[in-house]
Structure 1
Amino acid sequence: MNNEISKTANLVLNIIFIIVSILCVLPIVLVFIISITDYDSIVKHGYQFFPDKFSLEAYSYIFKDYGVVARAYGISIFVTVIGTLISVLISSLYAYPLSRGDFKYRNGFAFLIFFTMLFGGGLVPWYIVYTQVLDLKNSIWALIFPMLLSPFNVLIMKTYFQMTVPPALIEASKIDGAGELRIFIRIVFPLSLPVFATIGLFNTLHYWNDWFNSMIFITDTKLYSLQYLMYKMISQADYLSRNSSLIQGSVTELAKLPGETIRMAMALIGIGPIVLAYPFFQRYFIKGLTLGSIKG
C-alpha cells in the first residue's frame, strides 16, 4: 500500500503551513515595529508595518538604568530555572506513589491533593504563613515556594505514570533486586520524559510570567522579577504621562513619554529568554517517544 501523497497535495500543504507560520510571526514583527516607532507617528496614524518615523525612545527609557533591568533578568532566570527543577521533582515524587496500586495510603494522599483544587485557605492566611511562619518576606524563595506544587500537574503526571509504566515492569525490577528509588530513576523517568517535559514547560511559563508574588512579598527593589519591574515601569510611565500638569519640571517631556511604545518594547524584552524554552523542551518531547520503550 502506497502511503505517499501526491506532489500537488504536498505543495498545497506546504503553502498552507507557510501561510500559517507567517500569520503566527506577523504579530511579533508588528510589536517590534511599534516599539521602534515614533510615538507621535502612532498617535497620528495608528499601528503600521511601515511607519513614517522611527524612534528608540522606548528602549532608552527602559534601559536608562541598565543595572536594574539586568538584575531583574537574573532574578527571573534564577527563579524560573530553580523553581521549575524543584517543582517537577516534587510533583513527580508525589504523583508516582499515587500511580502505584500497591501504595497503601494512595487514597488519602490523592484526596489531599484533590481537595486543594476545590478549596483554598484565602489570601490572608496564605500571606501570613509565608511572611510570619516561614519568614520569606523579601526573600527570593518567596518567588519559588508558593508555586512549587500544582494539583493539576500532579494529576497529569499520575495519569501518565498509570498509562505508560507497566506494573509488570516494576514487578520484574523488584525481583531483580531494584529498590523504589532505583526503579523511579532508571525505569520510570526514561519512560516518562514527555510528561516531565510537558510539566517542565508549564512550570517554566508559570514562573517566568509571574509578577503577583513579587507584588505581595517583595519590597526590596533588588529582588524585583522582570515581569514585576516591567509592570512598575509601565505604571510609572502612564502616571507621569496622565498627570504631567501636576508635576513640576519639564511638563512637555513628561507628556510625551512614549507609553504605547514602552508597552511593546517591554513585551519583546519579556519574551526573550522564554522563547528558547520551546525548542529545548521540544527536543525532549521527541526523545521521550523513543527512549526507554519496552522492546520485545
Structure 2
Amino acid sequence: MKNSRQDRIMSVLFYLFTACFAAACLYPFWLVLSSSATAEVTLLRDGYRLFPEQYSLAAYKAIFSSSTIPDAYLITIFITVAGTALSLLVTSMAAYALSGRRLRFAPHISLFFYFTMLFSGGMVSSYILITKYLHLGNSIWVYILPALLSPWNMFLMRNFFNDIPKELFESAKLEGAGEVVILRSIVLPLSLPALATIGLFYALGYWSSWMPAMLYIDDTKLFSLQYIIMQIIRNVDMAQNIAVAGAQSTAQIAPAYTVRLATAIVTVGPIIFLYPFLQRYFVGGLKVGAIKG
C-alpha cells in the first residue's frame, strides 16, 4: 500500500524537525570542541566561535603533559567497567529477590532500602566506616564497593521484573528450574532495556567519580581521571592568577579557559561512545511473544 501525499509530507516534516533538533543538540558540543582548540588570546579577544581564526592545542598539551594521565585513564576505565558489571549483578539479584513476592518479608526489607534514599549517616560516618572498618583506604575498590548498589536503580529494576508475566515463572518451575536458572535464563534476557538503561546510569556515575580519590586515596597511581583533571584545572587557575598579579602580557597567561573546555571533551568524549552501542536496547516489546497461546 502506497503512502498518501499527506503521509509523505508529514514524514518530511518529521525528518526536518528531527534534523533541526539534532543540530540544536550538536551545536553546544561543537562550540566547546572548537573553542577548546582555540588559542587563549583569540578566545579572550573574539569570544566563542564555531570556526575560530587561530587554532591551538595548548590546552590539550597542558592536560596530557601530566605523566599520570595514562594511568588515570586505565584506572577510570577499570572502575567503570568492573563497577558497572558488579553493580548490575548485585542490583539485579536484589531486585529479583524483592519482586513477585518471593520473600516473605519483602515489603519490610524494601523499606530498609527506601530508608537509605531519605536519610544518610553523613560524610564523617562514611569516612570512618570505609577507612576504619572496611579498610578500603588507598585501594581501587573504594571507588566501587561503597557505590555498588543504588536503591533507586534497584526499585526501577524490581518494577520491571514485576511486569514480566507470571506464567513464565510458573512454567519454568514446572520444568524444574531453580531461582538462579530463572534469573539467568529468563528474567535477565527479557530485561535488556532495563539493564542497558540502569547500566548506563551506573557507568556515568563511576566514570565521573572523583570524591573517593580526594578523601581516601594517597597513592597517585590510583587517582581517577576526573581527580587528575581537577588538579590540572586548579594548577592552571593558580598559574593564571600569578601571571595576572605579575602584570604579564595576555599571551603569557596560562590557557585557563581553553583548559576547562578541553577537560570537558577529554572526560565526556569516551563515555559518549556508549550511547550508540546501548541505543538498540532502548526499545520495548522484547517480551512480546515470550508466551505462546
Using the size of structure 1 for normalisation, the TM-score is 0.91
Residue in 1 that maps onto 2:268: 271
Residue in 2 that maps onto 1:185: 184
Deviations 1:84-110 (A, max 9, x none): 000011011111111122421212211
**Distance of 1:253 and 1:69 partners within structure 2:** 28
User: SS where residue 99 of structure 1 aligns?
Assistant: coil
What is the Cα deviation at residue 134 of structure 1? 1.1
Task: After superposing the two structures, state which structure 1 stretch, 85-94 or 220-229, moved more.
Answer: 220-229
Aligned partners of 2:41 and 2:250 also within 8 Å: no
What is the Cα deviation at residue 235 of structure 1? 0.9
Gaps of 5+ in 2: none
Which amino acid in structure 2 is aligned with residue 265 of structure 1? A
Gaps of 5+ in 1: none
Residue in 2 that maps onto 1:213: 212
Residue in 1 that maps onto 2:199: 200
Size of the alignment, in residue pairs?
292
Aligned partners of 1:193 and 1:288 also within 8 Å: no
**Distance of 2:177 and 2:40 partners within structure 1:** 66
**Distance of 1:118 and 1:287 partners within structure 2:** 31
**Distance of 2:52 and 2:251 partners within structure 1:** 23
Which amino acid in structure 1 is aligned with residue 127 of structure 2? Y
Q: Matched residues, percent identical?
A: 41
Distance of aligned partners of 1:169 and 1:129 in 2 relative to their CA distance in 1, 3 Å threshold: same
Deviations 1:7-40 (A, max 9, x none): 2221111111111111111111111111111111
Which amino acid in structure 2 is aligned with residue 84 of structure 1? T
Aligned partners of 1:79 and 1:207 also within 8 Å: yes
**Distance of 1:144 and 1:195 partners within structure 2:** 21
Aligned partners of 1:38 and 1:55 also within 8 Å: yes
Which amino acid in structure 2 is aligned with residue 277 of structure 1? L
Which amino acid in structure 2 is aligned with residue 264 of structure 1? L
Residue in 2 that maps onto 1:237: 236
Residue in 1 that maps onto 2:279: 282
What is the Cα deviation at residue 287 of structure 1? 8.5
Distance of aligned partners of 1:89 and 1:259 in 2 relative to their CA distance in 1, 3 Å threshold: same
Residue in 2 that maps onto 1:294: 291
**Distance of 1:292 and 1:104 partners within structure 2:** 31
Residue in 2 that maps onto 1:162: 162
What is the Cα deviation at residue 292 of structure 1? 7.5
**Distance of 1:211 and 1:146 partners within structure 2:** 13
Task: After superposing the two structures, state which structure 1 stretch, 216-225 or 88-97, moved more.
Answer: 216-225
More helix by share: 1
Alignment of 1:40-59 (within 5 A): 40-59=41-60
Distance of aligned partners of 1:263 and 1:288 in 2 relative to their CA distance in 1, 3 Å threshold: farther
Which amino acid in structure 1 is aligned with residue 215 of structure 2? I
Which amino acid in structure 2 is aligned with residue 115 of structure 1? F
**Distance of 1:3 and 1:195 partners within structure 2:** 35
What is the Cα deviation at residue 295 of structure 1? 3.3
Residue in 1 that maps onto 2:69: 69
Residue in 2 that maps onto 1:10: 11
Distance of aligned partners of 1:285 and 1:49 in 2 relative to their CA distance in 1, 3 Å threshold: closer
**Distance of 1:76 and 1:215 partners within structure 2:** 14
Residue in 1 that maps onto 2:28: 27
Using the size of structure 2 for normalisation, the TM-score is 0.92
**Distance of 1:285 and 1:123 partners within structure 2:** 36
Aligned partners of 1:140 and 1:223 also within 8 Å: yes
Which amino acid in structure 1 is aligned with residue 159 of structure 2? T
Which amino acid in structure 2 is aligned with residue 88 of structure 1? L
Task: After superposing the two structures, state which structure 1 stretch, 6-15 or 111-120, moved more.
Answer: 6-15
**Distance of 1:60 and 1:14 partners within structure 2:** 40
What is the Cα deviation at residue 78 of structure 1? 0.3
What is the Cα deviation at residue 294 of structure 1? 2.5
Residue in 1 that maps onto 2:92: 92
Q: CA RMSD of the aligned region, Å?
A: 2.3
Distance of aligned partners of 1:149 and 1:288 in 2 relative to their CA distance in 1, 3 Å threshold: farther
**Distance of 1:73 and 1:238 partners within structure 2:** 23
Aligned partners of 1:192 and 1:288 also within 8 Å: no
Distance of aligned partners of 1:258 and 1:220 in 2 relative to their CA distance in 1, 3 Å threshold: same
**Distance of 1:232 and 1:188 partners within structure 2:** 44
What is the Cα deviation at residue 288 of structure 1? 7.2
What is the Cα deviation at residue 273 of structure 1? 1.5
User: SS where residue 284 of structure 1 aligns?
Assistant: coil
User: SS where residue 65 of structure 2 aligns?
Assistant: helix
